A and B are shown apart, each in its own frame.
Chain A
Amino acid sequence: MLKTLNILLTRGVFILLVLLPSALPAQMGGVCSDCHTMHNSQNGSAMTYNGSTEPHPYLLRSGNCIGCHAQAVSTNMVNGVPQVMHTDPTDLAAGNFAYISGAKGSGASQTKGHNVVDLLPQDTIHNFPPGGPMKNAGEGIRHPDTMPSQFTCAGLYGCHGSAHITDPMDSIRGSHHKNSGNKPAGETVGDSYRFLLGVTGLEADDLQNRDSTHHNEYIRDDSQLAGFPTLVGPGTCYWCHGPDNPWMGNSGDVLEPGSGMSDLCMRCHPGMSSYDQNTPGWHRHPNNVPLPGDSSEYAAYTVYNVDAPISRRTLPDVASSVVEPGDILQPGTRGAANVFCLSCHKAHGTDYPDMLRWDYTGIIADGGTSNEGCFICHTTKDD
C-alpha cells in the first residue's frame, strides 16, 4: 500500500514538474499601443510621448530609449516598461538615474551614476571611463577620435545592444520582441541578459533584487564567446578588443567579450581589473574571483544578500539563497560564489558616490555595523 502510494506520488510529482514551464517568459508583454503608434495620429493629436508630430523610427512613441524607459514618473514600471529614472521608493536591480539629477535621494551628484546622453549632462569630472581609455592620452589606450562626448544607452558607445552598431536604436533592434526566456544564452541582443549582448544570467521577472530568494542571478564566465569577430585591425576595435586593452581575461588572451557581467564592465573600465594581482597583497579589489572558502571571514557569508550580490560559475534555474565560497587558488570551482563588479556597485545609479550600494564613509572598521555594506563579505572587520 505504502509502496504503491509512494510510486503514485513520485509519478504525480514527475508529471507535474514536466508540465510546469522550465522558465518564465522574458519577452516584453502588453498592448502594442503602450509603445507603438501606427500613424502618430489619434483623435487629432500626435501619439509620441514628447508630443512630436514627426513620427519616430520603428513606429515607437519615443525617439530614443529614455522616452519609454525614463518617463520621470513616480513608479518603477509604466505599462510594464521598466523605468530607469523615477521617484518610486523601490528601485529596480540596476538602480536609478534619478539620484544623479537629485530627483530622488539625498541630493544631486554626478558621482552617483552613469551620465547617459539625453538623460543627464555630461560628467564634468571624468571625460573618460575611470580605469578606461583616456582620450588621446599619451599612454594607455588611445581614445578613438570618433568617440562622442557622452556615452549612450546602447550601441558602440553604450552598454546595451550590440557594440558593433553605432546607432543605439539600431543596436537594440529586434530585441524587445525576442522571446528568450529568463535564462538567455547570450548569442543575440534579444537573447542576452538585459539586452547586454553576450552577457548571460538569470533574469528576475520584475527586474528587482528583493531578497535572498528573489533576485537576479549573475554569471562569472569570461570564456570567449563563439561568433564574435576576431581582431580586425587598429583603431576603434583595439579599444575594446585589445591589444591595448589591459583586461586580458583569465586566459591571458586578447579579449573578446565574455559572458559575465564583469566582462561587460571591463570593456570600458579595464584598468579596474584585479586579474594580474593574483598574489598576496591585492592592488585592486578582487573581481571575478571566488570568495575564499578557506577563510572563516568570507566563509561566514552563506546566505545571499541582495546588498552584496555574488556571481556564480553555474547559473541555477531559479534564484538561489545559497552562497558557497570557493577556493581562490582554483578559480574554476563549480558553484563557488564570486565577487564581481555588481557586488559593490549598481549599473545605473545609486544614492551613494561611486555608484556604490552603500555609503562608503559609513563603513567603519571595528565600528560594529553588523555585517552591512562591505562587511557583508568582510564579516569580521566590523567586529
Chain B
Amino acid sequence: MKTKVGLMILMLLLLCGANGWAKVAGQCSDCHTMHNSQGGASVTGDGLHGSLTTGDCVGCHTGTNVVGGNIPYVMTPTLSEYGPDYVTITGVLTNNVATNSLAGGTFNMVESVAGADQFGHNVVGISDPDGMGQTPPGWVAITFPAAGGNAVADNWTTQQLTCAGTNGCHGDHTNADDFGDIRGAHHGDDSNINGNTVASSFRFLKGIMGTEAADWELAVSAANHNGYRGADRIAANSTTTGSLDATTISYLCAECHGLFHSGTGEIITGDDPTTASNNPWLRHPSDFALGNAGPVEYADYANADGALYTAGPLAYNYIAPLASVTGAAVSDPLAAGAGVNDIVMCLSCHRAHGSAHDDLLRWDYNDIATGGEMVAGTSTAFDNKGCFACHTTKD
C-alpha cells in the first residue's frame, strides 16, 4: 500500500514538470468550451473563438489578479489599480504589493478612458486605433525580425496592433491570426526558456530570453521579479540582425520601434558609446550598460524607495528595472560590475502593455523636475525616483 502511494506521488511529481507554473494549469473549462453550449446558453456570450477557447486573447486575459491565480490578467473588468507607482507630486510609493496589475502593466487606461491613446498600446479588441495613426513611432520595416521568426508586417495603414500575429508582439509574426500565431504555446513546455519556440520564449515572445516571475510580478519586490535579458552593446548604429542581439527584451520593442533602439545617427553621434567625448547620445540608450555610462551619478542607482545604491538584496528597483546579459533575475544589479546585470532597457522606463501615465511610462514624467523644483509640493519628493533612479544627481 505504502509502495503504491509512493509510486503515485512520484508519478504525480514527474508529470508536474520542473516548474509547476510554467505551463498553463488548471481546469480545462477555465479556458475552453467544446461546443459553446452549456445549460442551453452560450458559454462565450459573443460567439465562437479560436482553439475552442471561451474568449479571444482579451476575453481570457481579462479578470482580477489575485495571489495564487493561474491566469495572468492584463486588464480588469473595471478600472484596475495600477502599481507599483508613485503618487503624483508627493512621490509616495504605493501599490507595490499585490495590486491588480502585473509586470506588463494594464490596458485599462487606454481601454476605458476615451481618447486616452497615450496610456497604452492600442490593441484590437481593447481599444480603438490610435488617433495619431497606427504606425509605431520609430518604425523601420523589415529590419528587426524576431529571432527564428519573421519581421512584423509593414501594413500599418490598414492593420491595427494585435496581441499576437503578424502585427502583434507575442508569437512569431508568422500567422495573421492571433490564435494561429500563438498556437501550441500555452500548453508547450517552457521549463527551459531558450527562445527556440514560442512556448519556450520569454512570455511567448519568440526568440526573447529571460526569467519569468511565477506570479508575473503581482507581488513584486527586489526578491520577486522578472529577469529581463539585455545586451552590453558597444555598437549602436547597426540595423542588421547579424549585429544585434535578437534575444533581448529591448530588441522585442525594436521590432516595431527600431529607430529608438538602433540605427546610424539615430542613437549616438559616433557608434561606440565607450569612446571619448564629443560622442553624445542622440536618443535615450537601451541595451547599454549603466556602469559604462561614465559619470558617478549612475553608480548611485537607487531602489524603488528612493534609497541610493547599497549593495545587497534590496538594491533591485522594480519600478526602474535593469536587464541582465543572462536574463537572470538578480536582486543587486550593480554587484557584478558594469555590463552584467546593469543593462538599461526599454522597460527601465516603460510598461509593455500600458500604465497610468503618458507614453506608457512607469511614472509621471511631469513629476520629474530637475534642480529640486517641483510643479508643486516638496522639492525632494521625487529624489532618486523615476528618471532620477539612474540620474541620481540631476534632481
Which residues of A pack against B, CB within 8 Å? 25, 27-33, 38-44, 54-59, 80, 165, 167, 169-170, 173-174, 177, 179
Contacts and interface: CB of A to CB of B under 8 A. Distances in A.
Given A25-B372, A173-B277, A32 B283 contact: no
Contacts of A58: 280-281
21 contacts: A25-B371, A25-B372, A27-B370, A28-B371, A29-B370, A29-B372, A31-B368, A31-B370, A32-B387, A33-B365, A41-B137, A41-B260, A43-B132, A44-B133, A44-B137, A54-B282, A57-B281, A58-B280, A59-B283, A80-B373, A177-B370
Given A39-B137, A39-B138, A41-B138, A59 B281 contact: yes
A178 to B, nearest CB: 9
Nearest to B359: A42
Contacts of B177: none
B133 A179 contact: no
What are the 4 closest A-B residue pairs judged by CB atoms, nearest first?
Answer: A29-B371, A29-B373, A57-B280, A55-B282
Contacts of B365: 31-33
Nearest to A33: B365
Interface string B382-395: 00000100000110
Nearest to A54: B265
Interface in B248-264: 259-260
Contacts of B394: 177
Interface string B130-142: 0011000110000
Contacts of B43: none
Contact of A38 (B278, B283, B295, B369): B283
A327 B266 CA distance: 60
B375 interface: yes
A223 B89 CA distance: 46
Q: Chain B interface secondary structure, helix, strand, loop or mixed?
A: loop
Contacts of A179: 371, 393
Contacts, number: 81
Contacts of A173: 277, 280
A369 B306 CA distance: 61
A58 B279 CA distance: 9
Q: How large is the interface on B (under 10, 10 to 19, 20 to 34, 35 or more residues)?
A: 20 to 34
Q: Chain A interface secondary structure, helix, strand, loop or mixed?
A: loop
A177 B138 CA distance: 29
B236 to A, nearest CB: 12
B284 A56 contact: no
B366 interface: yes
Nearest to B361: A38
Interface in B343-395: 349, 359, 365-366, 368-373, 375, 387, 393-394
A56 B269 CA distance: 9
B391 to A, nearest CB: 8
B369 A30 contact: yes
Interface string B272-309: 00000110111110000000000100000000000000
B150 to A, nearest CB: 25
Nearest to B387: A32
Given A39-B283, A39-B284, A165-B277, 12 more contacts: A25-B372, A27-B371, A32-B370, A33-B366, A38-B349, A43-B118, A55-B266, A57-B280, A57-B281, A165-B278, A173-B277, A173-B280
B259 to A, nearest CB: 8
B216 to A, nearest CB: 27
A82 to B, nearest CB: 14
Nearest to A41: B137
Contacts of B359: 42
A56 B387 contact: no
Contacts of A31: 365-366, 368-370, 375
B156 to A, nearest CB: 12
B265 A38 contact: no
